[in-house]
Structure 1
Amino acid sequence: MRQLELITGADTNCELDALFVNAPLRDYTLRPRTNDYTLPVLGMAYIATYAQQAGFNVGVLDAEAHGLGIDETAKIVNGAKPRWAAMNLLAPTYEMSARIAAQLDPAIALMVGGHHAKAMPDRVLADPRMVNLRALILGEGELRVTALLKDGTRRRDLPGVLWRDPLLGTRAAGIADSKTSAQMLGPDINALPYVNRAFLPQDPYQAAPTATDRRLAARSAADWIQAAARSGHMEANIVGSRGCPYNCTFCGAAWSANPDVTIRVRSPENIIGELDQLHDKYGVTAFRFVDDLFLGVRNVIEEQMKAFSRHRIGERYVWDATGRINVLDRVSDSELERLVSNGLREVALGIESGSDRILKAMDKRINAEMTERVASRLVEHGIGVKGYFILGFPGESQEDLDATVRHIRNLWRISDQHPGDVRASVFEFRPYPGTPIWQTLIQTGHDPDALLAYGDVDLTGDGADESMRQRDEFNFSVGIEFGDVPLQRIRATLAMLTREQHDRNQGAKEAAA
């Protein structure tokens, strides 16, 4: 019974039509997780919500959020006895997903989707551990998953749905008429229902106050902002758009890896409706836009901010968003001031490197000088910056790595002179199938099996155990040196920078106490 309680959003007293399973990054029976929060599976929740509104009894089992092991996850699925089990396949979790699938009751039909399924469909279909696989769905799944729940034999009429012919052993694919294909593959995102947060065990969540929250309180007399800064916000993650117009070579969202995806942005009224719904139902006062486009296209920013101003969003909420450095570099000071007045608290930027040579290899369309200029303007306006960095990118030299370390420390120095804060989040490079850099690595002789051999890395041996606590789900690697810098030096540098960021966070908390 306790295990069934881990299934969210479903009526477990009735037959389950589908159970959506988010596999863990590693088998947590072997080494328990150390962090207590993981990003919500919004894509999976969108599909589950759509199916639920169509009348199906569906649930989500987020094995990563609950820190479950392989055997326990499979046991819960088999105990729930859904008609369908559905998995989101990602390169780092594929082995975990396949091991779970191998233990499923043969009476449970399996469907899969996600970046890895899209990038390597034939490999997935041929995997003997996927013996129960009845449908592999390429791309956005809301409409096609729901159609399969209505009638599994409809797969032959659904575009972008693949399966293995049991007699011939060849790939079979659904075919739909041209009138329905476009809608099936790219649904109208303004017509989709708002995500039912009952499917997400950790969203909304009570967040601890951030350095930016405290700075907001210091510059505002609004009672609710000061109260939120003292106690932390109730926060929720949200998606404002789908698709990306950029082609960063390491990214699974690169346009060249997703030629089937039409870029779509939700209307401002649709987004604001979800913000208000989350506030009314859960008391949410802070939001994180996790898509690439919210602050990634200038005319989109303009349209959204006009609506935010009309609805006085900044008087009621704060929000964070991902952004593009080259786009924000062209935003005026008055536009930055409007972002602040509309509630912008922090921008997450893919800075990636302090080496212009590596940035060019990544096709980032930025340089280190531009990043410093943008970060300086943001923090001067009191907007926090969360910078993401990649260490060990193919071809990276010690000189490139040193440039990144200097870049991060310089950004910290800049933020120390202004109201906004800079946080650095550093990762070891790992290749994802289907991305531009994956193709380059294969062409230069790398073995696909080796590139897919993801394993978790325990970095606490570098003395950074407390600073690594909230990074547990991100410390994984394929164990290959892609540049000139030894892997141990890359990891030691990662641990050093993470420790320095942790110390900065602690110092900010103590100063505010």
Structure 2
Amino acid sequence: MTYVSAEGNRRILLVYPPYEKPLMRQGLHYTSIPLGVGYLASVLEASGFEVSVVDCNIRESSPEGMAESIGELKPDIVGLTITSPGLRYAYKLISELREGGLTSTIRVAAGGPHVTADPGASTCLGADLYFTGESEYAFRDYCVSRRENAGRNNIIESGLIGDLDCLPYPARHLFNGGSYRFTPVAASRGCPFNCGYCGISGTQYRKRSIANVRGEIEHLASFNTRSVDFTDDIFTLDRPYARGVAEVMGEYGMGWSCTTRADLVDGGILEHLADNECRHISFGVETGVERIRYRMGKKVPDSRYQNAFKSCRDAGIRTRAYAMLGFPGETLEDVHRTFDFVNGLGADEVLYSPTIIYPNTWLMKAAVEEGKTGSDAWVRYMRGEGGIPYYLPEGLSLEEVNALIYEEGKRFYLNPKRILARMRDAQSLDDIADSFKALAVWMVGAINKQTRTK
């Protein structure tokens, strides 16, 4: 960890706790820098602070070891960006800092997706201050003023940043040395849809100017960056804007990938993206049962998925399908219908997982009402009193769901016809490498399953 700012300013350490992955994804290498931490760091550096970052998904360290490193580093403030599956590590780390007497001189601030979704319960973490929303400037202001007792229960409500162009580019130089596969770029923020299982839905959509995006891509190109992954929640929500961003990528001849909704693409936009170096698009299929998908608030008909995946194939864009197992009313028969539907889409990659019940979502409310989990499930997980709360199909255990995912992965990835088709359709060595990486995703999960069941 190396400080980069001028001497004499307060030292800030930003920590991204590791998050617990579902069984079939454990052991997979983390692939891109935590972009939110990168933005926090760049805003702080622009204000003259000495900043260092630790991504615990890359630098493996126990909470005890991390606390010891913090004691040696002696920062003035530690900022934690916390996801829901990263709660337990964050709680243990803060406890270690307190037990070691370090919090008498070091202030600990917590923010991130989980704190934003459930700020009241997050105060059980034991931090000194909590930030909700997009807190790049709110956290910077706190670091400048060191004001205490800000807001009820020391919670600062940051809200959303309207003008994204005001943000400096993420401080990627602080992550040098990490084994990252992708370079993330966010052209926009926010998702206006309200899916019942999602902890970040229903937020105002905002976008950077094309000129601002071009500046970042030009900067990345100067470091010989080969490809980027756009982390926008829905890349094609504003299609004219998506076309403009794509043209920037085409200007620099830089390959890229993105995520979007199947009802927000068609053959025309996909051909334009492909002509401008788009190589991979991910879609959240969620379930292969249309009535369940609609009930969960994602009102995208099956036909739109079928058309989207076909149009991607026609345009030469590789695809990934995400799906979850576990929704209200879902049965074992529905699970197999999901497998069959996703398998029929012709995706190049598939990723299944048990459905996590995120805080303050429609799914959490339904699960509590049905007695499937308690309203304090995440606090109990944080304290080590329970596991991550999952919503599981009727009559199935978590172990049985993981077994189903394993068997379906074997059917998908070890299908000889599919393997030969991928090799035949590959247009470059990168395409071949991506195919083997997709297979490796399933194989790592399979090894984890076999190890866990012995």
TM-score, normalized by the shorter chain, greater than 0.5: yes
- Answer yes or no: is the 8 Å Cα contact 2:5–2:48 preserved in 1: no
Question: What's the offset of the Cα at 1:73?
Answer: 1.4
Give ranges in structure 2 of 5+ residues lacking alignment.
Answer: 427-431, 433-454
- Answer yes or no: is the 8 Å Cα contact 1:241–1:266 preserved in 2: yes
Change (3 A) 1:361 1:336: same
Change (3 A) 1:143 1:494: same
Structure-2 separation of matches of 1:185 and 1:312? 27
Aligned to 1:217: none
Deviations 1:224-258 (A, max 9, x none): xxxxxxxxxxx411111111111111111111xxx
- Answer yes or no: is the 8 Å Cα contact 1:85–1:109 preserved in 2: yes
Question: What's the offset of the Cα at 1:289?
Answer: 0.5
Matched, 1:247 2:194: yes
Give ranges in structure 1 of 5+ residues lacking alignment.
Answer: 1-6, 28-32, 157-161, 164-170, 176-180, 208-234, 256-260, 413-420, 456-475
Q: CA RMSD in A?
A: 2.9
Matched, 1:144 2:138: yes
- Answer yes or no: is the 8 Å Cα contact 1:89–1:115 preserved in 2: yes
Secondary structure in 1 matching 2:283: strand
Change (3 A) 1:290 1:501: farther
Change (3 A) 1:241 1:203: farther
Aligned to 1:197: 172
Q: Which amino acid aligns with 2:225?
A: V
Q: Which amino acid aligns with 2:275?
A: S
- Higher mean alpha-carbon deviation, 261-270 vs 9-18, is at 9-18
Change (3 A) 1:313 1:143: same
Structure-2 separation of matches of 1:483 and 1:285? 45
Change (3 A) 1:12 1:314: closer
Aligned to 2:445: none
Task: Please give the TM-score of this superposition, normalised by the length of structure 2.
Answer: 0.82
Matched, 1:302 2:277: no
Q: How does 1:206-221 map to 2 (within 5 A)?
A: 207=181
Q: Which amino acid aligns with 1:478?
A: P
Aligned to 1:432: 358
Matched, 1:318 2:255: yes
Change (3 A) 1:427 1:13: farther
Q: Which amino acid aligns with 2:161?
A: G
Matched, 1:283 2:224: yes
Question: What's the offset of the Cα at 1:367?
Answer: 2.3
- Answer yes or no: is the 8 Å Cα contact 1:203–1:237 preserved in 2: no
- Answer yes or no: is the 8 Å Cα contact 1:26–1:96 preserved in 2: no
1:269 to 194, 198, 211: 211
- Higher mean alpha-carbon deviation, 498-507 vs 111-120, is at 498-507
Structure-2 separation of matches of 1:453 and 1:134? 20
Structure-2 separation of matches of 1:509 and 1:307? 29
Secondary structure in 2 matching 1:143: helix
Q: Which amino acid aligns with 1:303?
A: Y
Change (3 A) 1:342 1:359: same
Aligned to 2:438: none
Aligned to 2:400: 489
Structure-1 separation of matches of 2:278 and 2:353? 25
Structure-1 separation of matches of 2:354 and 2:155? 37
Task: Please give the TM-score of this superposition, normalised by the length of structure 1.
Answer: 0.73
Question: What's the offset of the Cα at 1:318?
Answer: 1.4
- Answer yes or no: is the 8 Å Cα contact 2:357–2:364 preserved in 1: yes
Structure-2 separation of matches of 1:89 and 1:147? 20
Question: What's the offset of the Cα at 1:307?
Answer: 5.8
Q: How does 1:82-481 map to 2 (within 5 A)?
A: 82-104=75-97, 105-106=102-103, 107-125=105-123, 127=124, 130=126, 133-153=127-147, 156=150, 162=151, 171=153, 185-201=160-176, 205=180, 207=181, 235-255=182-202, 261-280=203-222, 282-295=223-236, 297=237, 300-306=238-244, 308-309=246-247, 311=248, 313=250, 316-328=253-265, 331=266, 333-412=267-346, 422-445=348-371, 446-450=373-377, 477-478=388-389, 481=392
Deviations 1:341-377 (A, max 9, x none): 1111111101111111221122111122321121111
Deviations 1:426-449 (A, max 9, x none): 111111102221122223333123
Structure-1 separation of matches of 2:19 and 2:198? 19
Structure-1 separation of matches of 2:287 and 2:349? 14
Secondary structure in 2 matching 1:339: helix
Q: Which amino acid aligns with 1:113?
A: G
Structure-1 separation of matches of 2:214 and 2:16? 28
Matched, 1:44 2:37: yes
Structure-2 separation of matches of 1:337 and 1:117? 40
Structure-2 separation of matches of 1:174 and 1:491? 39
Structure-2 separation of matches of 1:288 and 1:100? 31
- Higher mean alpha-carbon deviation, 435-444 vs 47-56, is at 435-444
- Answer yes or no: is the 8 Å Cα contact 2:325–2:393 preserved in 1: no
Structure with more relative contact order (C-alpha pairs < 8 Å, separation 6 or more): 2
Q: Which amino acid aligns with 1:489?
A: E
Deviations 1:84-112 (A, max 9, x none): 11111222111110100011112211111
Secondary structure in 2 matching 1:498: helix
Secondary structure in 2 matching 1:58: strand
Q: Which amino acid aligns with 1:448?
A: S
Change (3 A) 1:194 1:441: same
Deviations 1:369-417 (A, max 9, x none): 32112111111111111111101223211121011110122123xxxxx
Change (3 A) 1:40 1:173: closer
Change (3 A) 1:9 1:35: farther
Q: Which amino acid aligns with 2:325?
A: L
Deviations 1:190-222 (A, max 9, x none): 1111112123357784x5xxxxxxxxxxxxxxx
Same amino acid, percent of matched pairs: 23
Change (3 A) 1:383 1:479: closer
Structure-2 separation of matches of 1:497 and 1:390? 13
- Answer yes or no: is the 8 Å Cα contact 1:22–1:88 preserved in 2: yes
- Higher mean alpha-carbon deviation, 193-202 vs 479-488, is at 479-488
Deviations 1:142-191 (A, max 9, x none): 111111111111764xxxxx46xxxxxxx35669xxxxx8xx74252111
- Higher mean alpha-carbon deviation, 489-498 vs 96-105, is at 489-498
Deviations 1:464-484 (A, max 9, x none): xxxxxxxxxxxx843664534
Q: Which runs of 4+ in 1 moved over 6 A?
A: 11-15
Secondary structure in 1 matching 2:368: helix
